[in-house]
Chain A
Amino acid sequence: MTTATAANDTGPAGVPPASWLARALGFFSGTVGLVIKIGFLAVTNSLAIYAVVVLLTDGHWISGGLVAVATLLIDVVYLGPWHQAVPLKFLVPGTIFLIGFQVVPLLSNANISFTNWSTGHNLTHQEAIAAIEENSLTPPADGATYTMTPARQGGDLVLLLVDEVTSKAYAGSKDGLTPLPPADVTIENGTVTAAKGYETVKGAELLRLDEEMGKLLIPTTGSSFIRAEGLSQAIELQPTLRYVPARDVFVNVETKTVYRDNGEGSYVSPDGEALEPGWRTYIGAQNFKKIATDPLVRDPFVRVFIWTFVYAGLSVFLTFALGLFLAIVLNKPDLRLQRLQRALLVIPFAIPAYLSVLVWGGLLNDDFGAINNLLGVHIPWLFDPTWAKISCILVNLWLGFPYFFLVCTGALQAIPGELTEAARVDGATSRQVFRKITLPLLLVATAPLLIASFAFNFNNFNNIYLLTGGGPLQADQAVAGSTDILISYTYKLAFQAGKGSDYGLASAVSIIIFFIIATISAISFWRTKSLENLT
């Protein structure tokens, strides 16, 4: 019986190998390691203190509190004497990132799914009111436009205006327009450059005038006023909507229509006209209700779900089968150039997936693609619903088989030869050996990988969208094309329907997809007992 030994040299049996790697690591695990640990903790704590200080001074109580609590917990784990905390010491570093960049986005998405965040609902309530007021300003029918020069009289800001039509000069202040006698003003190129009794603003002071100029409204007649526009123009404007803070409504100045807050982020009139922009607000479970009740969303759901399931399932099955097949075929150590063969088979990995998918799209073109040309046929790979589905799976097969090829290659070599030999001695054929021994062992070992691969393909937006765009879209299909999976269908619902960019709806559908796939996976883990030894 020969024993295969580790890649490193061995010392006496039972003692860790004394390779350079081990010695290097051993160096770090003594006092030096302790110092490093203290160092890390010190850095973490000081950074945390800094962060907490900054957050609290800016008024972010929740974030500041969370950072403080988290840091304290970390200190407890690493400094505390409790024996139970030992496994936590190893889990904490990875978990920090997991929480920060996986869990928090997940929670954030959950949060968004209860809001109406979409096109037209992007501001806060106050910002929306200000924007509606700004948008309601229109030049009145007989409104005038002026060239403008900012100036000062006493300490007050005054705009020196020249009416573009009548060429008359005025000085405009918060009290109104004062005509300027032509003798007192110098006008060049239609703009006032000097006026008696006023000092034009120049140089550095001009740079700080912005806020003041924006607030200076020169009243004319009724509710119209003149305001600066840019650095050298002014225009007469009139509000068409008036905001009533006490009742939180907008009133149309002319028609007296009242626009009320409809509780969903917009001011609407009695006949349904909404003012834009609206604002972002919580709308409860409306997005989820829409998914259940809106025929646009609900009708394709089952069809898309079934195809998603089939797509993910077939992808996993075929990539695993092909990978395993090649692993078995190429497993003979007698084969020459094994390393080269393996390197070539892994090439699909080396090219970015999005490029590969685009290349495949070109290859599968039914009139001009290389595949139809080589085979001399005219298969509508991407234009026929059924063939498009086959194309998606084919491309996925190409992208995925190297992974399982590698995994199975390793796993096959792990199966003890004694088992298979014993079986053969007992008279089993190769196929029976495979079915009764090799395959079950393999499946047990790779089950979580298969499940994870299923989940990955379930959510594989890129491979579908880049290849077929989710299409072909049949004449009787609304949003979901023939190859749309749940995630690409979500994308289209959110970004290519209604007014586009419906993050609230997209979040809600994402959460539902997550529940679906998590349930399927959890059940699969349970059924394959892969986590059995983790009790």
Chain B
Amino acid sequence: MFNIRTLRAILALAVVALAVVVVVSPATSAPKATPTIVIWADKDRVPAVTKVANLWAQSKGVTVSVVQKEMGPIREDLKTVQTDTAPDVILGAHDWVGEVAANGSVVPLFPSAATKAQFPAYALNAFSYGTAIKKLYGAPVALENIALITNTKLAKVPTSFADMEKQALAVKKKTGAAVGLSVQQGSGGDAYHMYPLFSGLCGYIFGTNSAGNLDPSAIGVANPKFLKNAGMIDTWNKEGLIRSSVDSSISKDLFLKGKTAYFFSGPWNLSDIRKTPGLQTKITAFPAIAGTGCKSVPFLGVQGLMVTKFAAAHGVDSFAKDFVGNYMMQPAAQLALAAANDRFPANTIAGKQVADKDVKAFGAASVGGVPMPNIPQMSSVWGDLGSAWVRSTKGPGSIPAKRSFIGAQKSIAQKIG
């Protein structure tokens, strides 16, 4: 056979040959001719963003590349991405602003005064962050919030919370459902969906400091006013108005099948509601709870665009800022992007032009709503706040709400440190 020397010779030849081939073949990509703006957006908004961005790009003579990623990965990968694959613009939720700004991943924006005037203060606030001085880090595009959806064939739109309670329990008795209101929790809790009840009882998450910024050391989960009203939670639990065993699919299921008359939910369920035959609904704001002095408002989620620090490294910083801080904040673009997903635009002028009556109703229900706190410390709140509700509303064996929420406040304070 072959002896070792021949073997080695053949091998050496083969290696050299292949190495030459491999090294010589072009490996790097040619530099781009026109600057490209890379946008990361999630799958529901990619088509709309592409359409709107292309219109803008054509007018400026640049190209836009929209990359689809889920919300989670957009947020995560932004921390580890390398410059050459990094995005220039991202579409994200306002409650990440604290995190991405603290990480230095996004840059501040300074839209003109005229542009800023077209937005409600809280929308701009939602995208602002700063421990000392607050800066605007993104352009709000669409508002998202839950509202009260009433099955008008089973019950009437309530005039007050007590009215809703009465009607809900009547429907519960008639249909034999295990719960009166379709509000989702699940074993892990859902502080987001419970917020209208929480705010209605005078609960809040963070207070503000002297500069008007959210203060992570001022936690209002078990503030004295709320604790005074917390007894109502125990009543609701006893009468079966709310139950923590109701999760997202059960909540929707009960409402769609006509077992409950009231549904706390958002525009994402609109298509399923419209698909259900014989279901007639009306979307309104949440009724206030008498005797508390506070209004029942939902959490607001604001989606928007942010410019990343990589735009400057790519040499497209001014284009990205023009797209986000100028073009996307104008009514036409706002309407186009928000409408593509049944969301209410943040721009008030665009808001007046919304045609779909359901979307308009969600917009109306958002008035007075509280944007979810966007500071990074908020990540310590969700689980505990949700669990506080779960502990007190699981039916028999629940612990009194006062004790539950005091425990939650202690835990959150300890975690935030």
Interface residues of chain A, those whose CB is within 8 Å of chain B, are: 31, 34, 38-39, 41-43, 45-47, 49-50, 53-54, 79, 81, 119-120, 122-123, 127-128, 131, 134-135, 137-139, 145, 147, 164, 203-204, 206-211, 213-214, 228-233, 235, 237, 240, 273-274, 276-277, 295-296, 361-362, 365-368, 378, 380, 382-384, 388, 468-469, 471-479, 481, 492, 495-501
Residues on the B chain within 8 Å of A476, using CB: 407
Q: B380 contacts A496, CB within 8 Å? A: yes
Q: Given that A228-B318, A233-B326 are contacting pairs, would A207 and B380 also be in contact in the complex, using a CB cutoff of 8 Å? A: no
- With A230-B322, A501-B79 known as contacts, the answer to whether A120 contacts B376 (CB < 8 A) is yes
> With A and B bound together, what is the CA distance between A417 and B372 in angstroms?
69
User: Does the CB pair A276–B383 fall under 8 Å?
Assistant: no
What is the bound-complex CA distance between A127 and B86, given in angstroms? 16
- Chain A residues, Cβ within 8 Å of B309: 127, 131
Instruction: Contact check, B326 vs A231: say whether CB atoms are below 8 A apart.
Output: yes
Q: Is B232 an interface residue (CB 8 A)?
A: no
Stretch at the interface among B12-20, B144-152, B196-204, B277-285: B12-20
Instruction: Please determine whether B322 and A273 come into contact, CB atoms closer than 8 angstroms.
Output: no
Task: Please give the number of chain B residues whose Cβ is less than 8 angstroms from any Cβ of chain A in the complex.
Answer: 92
Q: Are A475 and B407 closer than 8 Å at their CB atoms?
A: yes
Chain B residues with Cβ below 8 Å from A481 are: 387
Residues of B within 8 A of A54 (CB): 27
Per DSSP, chain B at the interface is helix
Verify A128–B407 contact, CB threshold 8 A. Answer: no
B297: Cβ under 8 A from any A Cβ: no
Any chain A CB within 8 A of the CB of B30? no
Question: CB distance A119 to B99 under 8 Å?
Answer: yes
Cα distance A203–B8 in the bound complex, in angstroms: 60
Q: How many whole Å from B182's CB to the nearest CB in chain A? A: 12
A-B residue pairs in contact (CB < 8 Å), sample of 26: A41-B14, A45-B11, A45-B15, A122-B104, A131-B309, A207-B34, A214-B318, A231-B60, A276-B101, A277-B103, A361-B247, A365-B245, A366-B395, A367-B243, A368-B245, A469-B188, A469-B383, A471-B188, A474-B391, A475-B399, A475-B406, A478-B410, A478-B411, A497-B379, A499-B376, A501-B99
Q: Which residues of A contact B316 (CB under 8 A)?
A: 210
Q: Given the interface contacts A134-B108, A231-B60, A233-B112, does A276 sit within 8 Å of B102 by beta carbon?
A: yes
Q: Does B22 contact A (CB under 8 A)?
A: yes
CB distance from B59 to the nearest CB of A (A): 11
Q: A42-B14, A128-B104, A210-B316 are in contact. Are A380 and B380 (CB under 8 A)?
A: no
How many pairs of A and B residues are in contact by the CB < 8 Å rule?
240
Instruction: List residues of B (93-135) whose CB comes within 8 Å of A's CBs.
Output: 99, 101-105, 107-114, 130-133, 135
Chain B residue with minimal CB distance to A233? B112
Question: Measured between alpha carbons, how far is A277 from B416 in the docked complex, in Å?
Answer: 18
User: Chain A CB within 10 Å — which of B16, B103, B415 has the most?
Assistant: B103
Query: In the assembly, what is the distance between CA of A499 and CA of B245, in Å?
Result: 30
Q: Which of A119, A365, A478 contacts B102 (CB 8 A)?
A: A119
Whether the Cβ atoms of A496 and B14 lie closer than 8 Å is: no
Residues of A within 8 A of B14 (CB): 38-39, 41-42
The answer to whether B390 touches A119, judged by C-beta atoms less than 8 angstroms apart, is no
Structural contact, A277 and B326, CB atoms closer than 8 A: no
Complex Cα spacing A144 to B25, Å:
55
B390 proximity list for chain A (CB < 8 A): 383, 471-473
